[in-house]
Every structure is written in C-alpha cells, then in structure tokens.
A and B are shown apart, each in its own frame.
Chain A
Amino acid sequence: MTTPALNPFLSRRRALALGGLAGGVALTASACSSGSSGSGDPNTFEFWSFTGINQKADVESYKKLAPDVTVKLTEVGNAQETAQGLTTALAGGKVPDLVLIQAGDLPKFMKNPGNFTDLATLGADQVEDDYVDWVMAQATAKSGEIVGIPTDVGGMGVAYRTDLFAAAGLPTNRDEVSALWPTWEEFIATGQRYTQASGSAFIDNAATTVFLQAVSQGTEQYYSADGEVVYDTNPVVKDSFDLGLKAIAAGITAKLESFSDGWNAGMAKGTFAAVAAPSWMLGSIRSAAPETEGKWDIATIPGGSGNWGGSYLAIPARAGNPKAAWAYISKMQSPEQQLQHFIESGSLPTTPVNYDKPELVDHTDPFFGDAPTGKIFTQAVLGLKPFLNGEYNTEISTELLNALNGVEGDGAPAAAAWDTAVKGIKTAIGA
C-alpha cells in the first residue's frame, strides 16, 4: 500500500491532483483540513493519504471493527504531493489527525520529530518489536521518539509477460526465468535476446527498472551509515548508474517513464515484456492493464534481495484527536490486519511474524499466473541489509534518474550523464 519511494513521475490522475495544488497549496491544505477533527469529537478523526493505493479499503474494513468511529479520509494527491501538503499544514495550517508518509519522504520529517506525536506515549513502545527492526528504526528519531508505524515494505521482484516470453522463445516458468538472470548483466543479455527475437522492447525504462533496483540493493546508498553524503564515492551508485547506461545502450528499453500515460498504454499493448515490480507495484500493473490478467508471472530480481518503497502512518503533534488515530493504527497495523491486507492487496507486511504463516507463504495471485507473491517478496526482504535514507534522498535520486532518462529519451550524451547528475546534485543539495 504505497507508491514508489523515489518517484519523479506522476500519472495523469496524479497530475490532475497536482493541478488542484497549483491553485494554491494553502488553499488545498485548508480545503483538505476543513473537517471537524479539532472539534473534540472523540469518534471522528481525519486521515490524509495519497492516491492510487486504495486506503479506502482499509478505512472500510476499520468501519467493521469500530462501527462508531468516523474516519474522514482525504486523498491529497500522490505521495510527494501529500508530503508537500503535510509540510504546509505542519508549518501553520490545520493538520490531519493521521497521515500516511512514504519511506522516501520520511527522512525530511524525521529531522524535526517535534512536529509529530511520539507514538511511544500512546503505546507504540509496546508493539515496536512486532515490526521489521530496520524498517522501524527508520521511523525512530535519534532522541528516541517513534514518529511512524510502518505499513508495508516493497520487497522486489520482476513481473514479466509469459505470452511475450514464449513468443520470443524464452522460458516461461518462473524458476527458469529467475535462473536466466542471477546478475544484472545477465538480465540485460536476456533483454537483448528478447529484443532480437521479438523486435520490441524488453523493459519499460532503464532508470527505474534497472538503475533504481540495483542501487537499492546495496547496504549503503546515497548516505553512509553515519549520515555522510556518499553518493559520489559509493561504488554501488556508480555501478548501478553504469548498468542503467548499459541497458540503454543495449537498446532494450521502451523509453516509457514509469506511471506515465505511455507506460500505462504500453503495459496493456505489450510494448515491453518485463518491469521491476516491488509488492506494491502489482496493484499499479493490475489497474494499468486489467485485460492482461493471467498473462503475467513474477520472477526474482537480479542480485537477489532488495527493497523499494514502503510507507508509514504518523500522527502530527497538533492533531486534534491523536487517540482515535492511534486506535486506528494499532488496530489496522497489527500483524493480523497486515496479513489480511496482504491477502487483499498484495502489499508485503512489515510484521515478520507473518513471514512464515501459510496464508502468506502459500498465497498465490491469479492475475500474475498464480505466482506465490508472498513467498517471493518475503525472500527479497529477508535477505536484506538496509541502507540509510538521508534528508536529500529524493533530490539525489531525482537527479540520477533524470540524467538516465535524458540519455534514454532525450538523446543526451551517455558519456556525460554521470557528470551531469553529480553536478545537478551538488547544485541541488550543496554537497
């Protein structure tokens, strides 16, 4: 139940929501906060979420568990816009009682934990051990406050079209397909085989499906464990960037930015045959190309494990009704409910106690050729050594992705791409 952590692309619908924002952020913020959460009604609270992840379903199921509580859900915009709206609200507007923040935006808020209710005071210290430790650690401030409770993690995989693979003479069985690409080099080589046989593109784009996945697999990304900016010295970043360039040079990409109109259309038309798919992406594929049901399957990601994305629920410090919001969090993010949510939506739980439950391990998804999604994504997360997300993760990532997209789509010279990105980052963050 999240959107991409570092997503610089928006769907049309999200762009529309942003168009609303264009009218004035303050206006949006106040319009969104016109509810009565501050009025003191203990059974009503206001919840800001982002679009595209169907929080409505969660709110609906909460109605069954707590029928006397009214949840006023507002989908502010995409994840980035929701974070921006929250920023404006925290800076002086009317805040919601509960807000969903994606993992990539969290570090900016973690810098000033005073803006949020320390969930430990509401009982989070009792349940924090229920969650994956490194995911929980990202939402715990240096001074010990618990800012958020993790709703899901984005264990990685590769979704591929079995019909297109078969037509190109590639194996279709998910274990055989996984065996095709233990490494990213072999992934690109497979792509070349596919493109030669079929004459069409193998992946949607190199920036997200190759670079962003590869760079999310290291134990260190743009920041070192002690918070130093290391994107320009960390070999993982440069190597992943070069992999992206290599995929572009191999001519296997459809040059379609993730979540764009062309991407949605291309998904349905089979313009590309494979796409990086963390657990939450399955929902995007389902809604972009509903008519492709049953033609998909899911293989493991080259390089084994990794995480892309994830979200947290937090309560602003000035919330009018923090108790009702916490009641919602503790109920809906309990291990049992997270498992339930996985069965309904496919987002991977953050509660390890679920990771060997048969309901999760044996779960199969008919849309994706009955792939055992729970098992695949759990393995991706279990083998993970997490990296630190820093304050400017989004800015750094945006510049790197832009440089790659520039080479891929706009014909920028590949040899200068890395320098362009580094220069852009230095201007953006001053380091």
Chain B
Amino acid sequence: MAATLTPGTLKGVKPATATRPVEKRWERLAPYGYVAPFYVLFLVFGLFPLLFTFYVALFDWNPIGDKTFVGLANFQQLAADPRFWNALKNTFSIWIISTAPQLLIALVLAQVLNSALLRFATFFRMAMLLPYITSVAATAIVFAQLFNRDFGLLNWVIGGLGFEHVDFMSTPVGSHLLVSTMVVWRWFGYNTLLYLAALQAVPRDLYEAAAMDGAGPVKQFFHITLPSLRPVIVFTVIMSTIGGLQIFTEPLLLSNGTLTCGTARQCQTLSLFLYEQGFGSFKFGYGSAIGVALFAIIVVVALVNFLLSSRLGKKG
C-alpha cells in the first residue's frame, strides 16, 4: 500500500506539479472546445434527427409534396394497424431467439478461451472476430445459399435423408430461425471477446482463495465469474437489445430484398415496416410514427434488461 497523502503532509511543501492559477478566459474555456466536436456531432446527427422524427410523426407528410398537421392521428392509426403488431411480434421473436443463444454461447466460449489449458489461444481469439468483420451482405448471400429451398446445401442434406425440402423463408418460425441464426453467427465472436476481456481482469487470487475454501468450478462461476462479468453483461445485453430490435438488413437480404419480407409479412421487422412506409409508400409521417414507437419500445426494453441483468449474480 502506498502512503496516503493527507492535506496535512503537504503543509509548507510546494507540489512538484503545481498547476498555474487559471487566469486567461480562453484557458478556462479550452477544455470545452476539446470536447465540443462530439457534442456538436451528436446534436447534428443524433439529437436533431431524433427530435425531427417526433415532429414529422405529427404530420401527414409526403416527402416530395405537401404536409398537413394531423396531431396524433398517425399513432392512432398505428395502434389499429395489424401490420404494426405483426412487425412488433416478429421483431421480438427474432430478437429473443437470437440474443439469448448468442450471449450464452459467448459466455461459454469466453471461459474456454480464458482457460490456461488452451493452446494457440491467440489464434482462436482472433478467429472469433471473423464473422463480425465480414460484411452483412456477404454473410447474407452465404446463408441464403445454404438455406435455399431448391439448391441449398442444408436442403440437399435434408433431401438426401429422404425428407421434403424445407422452405425456411415461407413460414414465420422458419424465417425467424434463419434470420436469428445469421445474427448469432455475426455477433457471438464480438460478445465473446468482450467477456474474455472482462474475465482476464478478474484477479486469479480470488479463484485460488475460493478453491482453498473448497468451492468447485460451478460455485466459482456463480460467485466469482458472474459477479465480475456483471458490468460487461449489462453492456452486451443493452447493445444486443438496441441492435436486435432495429434489425433490418438480415431479413431484407434473406428475403431477396422484399420490404414485406415474405408474402404474409412473416419476417417483416419494425425497421423494415418503417422503411416500407416511409420510403416505399412515401408516408414520412407514418414512417416517423413507427420510428417513435420503435424508440419508445427500445428504451423500455433496454431499461427492463438493465434492471434484470444488473441483478445477475447478486445475492437476491
């Protein structure tokens, strides 16, 4: 332990790195200048679009024509729109069946990668990032081909085993599974590395002490690992919530680029529905109302997730 300096010990001694008294005005303002770019960018690209979306949602707004103030009519229409509830259901379904396995896989893999017994650990850690750095479009092409109804590898196997070919994109369950598989594939490595970094920061002596006290691996996991990982788990859960609820590219590309994602909108997510209305049907106001609803949903779900995941590993 380093000696703690108390104010008393400083008496009469001039600190070696004394700061000059701030005199000039610009010197006091300079720090604000240094951090300003972030806030300016946030205002222009973050806050302004957000507020503008709220504003547009109050109008019947043709982007290249007239706009009429309609108040909350867009939201009333949204509440009564079966397409909205369908998209909401799809979004949640895809989000849940992609996020849960993805974080569990990441948690297990991080343990494996952190093991002292693992050889070529650096290679495996690097490999984790490969799916993440591959472009979504490229991944989508590969997945679409793997799962293709007529010529896909998977259906070739299924057909070889004597079963009927499965058209994954034609049913809600199939398409949600397919989209989720792709999301899991893309993000598990990213989360694994986050968990791994957090695991490596856990002091070894905690485990040694626990082992001395007779705690087995399972007890160690629940009483040391999980509580140590809690901040990063909260972070990944929030990020996956935001990403998962905004999912757009994967369903779009897997369904051959149709904004409805299937003949019965079976995999149309909220983002796709927003895009369809705003840019396909030129209903900016209605599209913005969907955006506002999506924003509210994400805030609520993220909050709930934060509360749940921050209790993780705490003694309840």
- Is B252 in contact with A18, judged by CB distance below 8 angstroms? yes
Asked if B29 is at the interface of the complex by the 8 Å CB criterion, the answer is: no
Does A132 have its Cβ within 8 Å of any Cβ on chain B?
no
Q: Which residues of B contact A392 (CB under 8 A)?
A: 281
* A112 at the B interface (CB under 8 A): yes
Contact status A398-B260, CB under 8 Å: yes
- 0/1 per residue, A393-423, Cβ < 8 Å to B? 0110010001101100111100000001000
Q: How far is the CA of A412 from the CA of B171 in the complex (A)?
A: 10
Kindly state whether residue B208 has any CB partner on chain A within 8 Å.
no
* Closest residue on chain B to residue A411 by CB atoms: B170
Q: Say whether A19 contacts B136, CB under 8 Å.
A: yes
Residue tally, chain A, CB below 8 Å to B:
48
Q: Beyond A22-B248, A262-B150, is A12–B279 a contact (Cβ under 8 Å)?
A: no
* Shortest CB distance B74–A (Å): 12
Contact (Cβ within 8 A) B252 A19? yes
Say yes or no: is B237 at the interface (Cβ < 8 Å to chain A).
no
Q: Do B279 and A410 touch across chains, with their CB atoms under 8 A apart?
A: no
- Establish whether residues B64 and A115, one from each chain, have CB atoms under 8 Å apart when the complex forms: yes
B167 touches A409 (CB 8 A): yes
Q: Are B264 and A402 in contact (CB under 8 A)?
A: yes
Residue B62 interfacial (CB < 8 Å)? yes
Q: Are A395 and B253 neighbours in the complex by a CB distance under 8 Å?
A: no
Q: Which residues of B contact A10 (CB under 8 A)?
A: 256-258
**Complex interface: chain B residues within 8 A of A402 (CB):** 260, 263-264
Asked whether, in the complex, the Cβ of A257 is within 8 Å of the Cβ of B167, the reply is no
Query: Chain B residues with Cβ under 8 A from A411's Cβ?
Result: 170
Q: Is B128 an interface residue (CB 8 A)?
A: no
Q: Is A289 engaged at the interface, CB distance under 8 Å to the other chain?
A: no
For chain B, the count of residues having a C-beta within 8 Å of the partner chain is: 38
Distance A428 CA – B265 CA, assembled complex (angstroms): 13
Decide if B282 touches A108 in the complex (CB within 8 Å): yes
Cβ of A80 < 8 Å from any Cβ of B? Answer: yes
CB of A372 within 8 Å of the partner chain:
no
Asked whether, in the complex, the Cβ of B249 is within 8 Å of the Cβ of A22, the reply is yes
| CB proximity of B277 to chain A, nearest CB, Å | 9
B258 x A9 contact (CB < 8 A): yes
- Answer yes or no: B262 CB below 8 A from chain A CBs: yes
Tell me if B83 counts as interface (CB < 8 A to partner A): yes
A18–B256 Cα distance when bound, in Å, is 10
In the complex, what residues of B have CB within 8 A of residue A271's CB? Answer: 150
Interface class of chain A by DSSP: helix
- Chain A residue at smallest Cβ distance from B66: A112
Which residues of the other chain, B, contact A158 by a CB distance below 8 angstroms? none
Which of B82, B170, B256, B281 has the most C-beta atoms of chain A within 10 angstroms of its own C-beta? B256
A410-B258 in contact (CB<8A): no
Interface residues of A in 252-286 (CB under 8 A from B): 256-257, 260-262, 265-266, 271
CA distance A108 to B62 in the complex (A): 10
- Interface-facing stretch out of B95-103, B113-121, B141-149, B291-299: B141-149
The answer, among B81, B253, B257, B282, for a CB contact under 8 Å with A87, is: B282
Decide yes or no whether B63 CB sits under 8 A from chain A: yes
Answer whether residue B7 sits at the interface, using C-beta atoms and an 8 A cutoff: no
B65 proximal to A (CB < 8 A): yes
Q: Is B140 an interface residue (CB 8 A)?
A: yes
Cα–Cα, bound, A402→B83 (Å): 14
> A19 is contacted by which of B83, B140, B167 (Cβ under 8 Å)?
B140
> A410, B167: Cβ atoms under 8 Å?
yes
- Write out the residue numbers on chain B whose beta carbons fall within 8 Å of the beta carbon of A412: 263-264
Could you give, for residues 161-175 of chain B, a 1 whenever the CB lies within 8 Å of some chain A CB and a 0 otherwise? 000000100110000
Tell me whether A19 and B263 are in contact (CB under 8 A).
no
Q: Give A392 to B280 CA distance when docked, in angstroms.
A: 10
* Residue among B62, B64, B65, B281 with the highest chain A CB neighbour number at 10 A: B64
Q: Is B151 located at the chain interface by the 8 A CB criterion? A: yes
Whether A343 sits at the interface, judged by CB under 8 Å, is no
Smallest distance from the beta carbon of B60 to chain A beta carbons, Å?
11
Partner of A9, one of B81, B148, B256: B256
- The reply to whether A428 and B281 form a contact with Cβ atoms under 8 Å apart is yes
Cβ-based interface call for B137 (8 A) = yes
Instruction: Give chain B residues whose Cβ lies under 8 Å from the Cβ of A84.
Output: 279-280
Cα–Cα, bound, A394→B276 (Å): 12
Chain B hits for A405, CB < 8 A: 263
CB proximity of B151 to chain A, nearest CB, Å: 6
CA of A420 to CA of B260 in the docked complex: distance in angstroms? Answer: 15
Contact partner, A265, options B83, B150, B171, B266, Cβ 8 Å:
B150
B279 touches A88 (CB 8 A): yes
Q: A12-B141, A409-B167, A410-B264 are in contact. Are A19 and B64 (CB under 8 A)?
A: no
**Apart from A8-B260, A406-B264: 14 A-B pairs, beta carbons within 8 A:** A9-B258, A14-B257, A16-B253, A25-B279, A78-B257, A87-B282, A108-B282, A112-B62, A115-B64, A261-B144, A261-B145, A402-B264, A410-B266, A412-B264
A-B contact pairs, 10 of them (CB 8 A): A10-B257, A10-B258, A12-B144, A19-B136, A87-B282, A91-B284, A262-B148, A262-B150, A265-B151, A402-B264
* Residues of B in contact with A (beta carbons under 8 Å apart): 62-66, 81-83, 136-137, 140-141, 144-145, 148-151, 167, 170-171, 248-249, 252-253, 256-258, 260, 262-264, 266, 279-282, 284
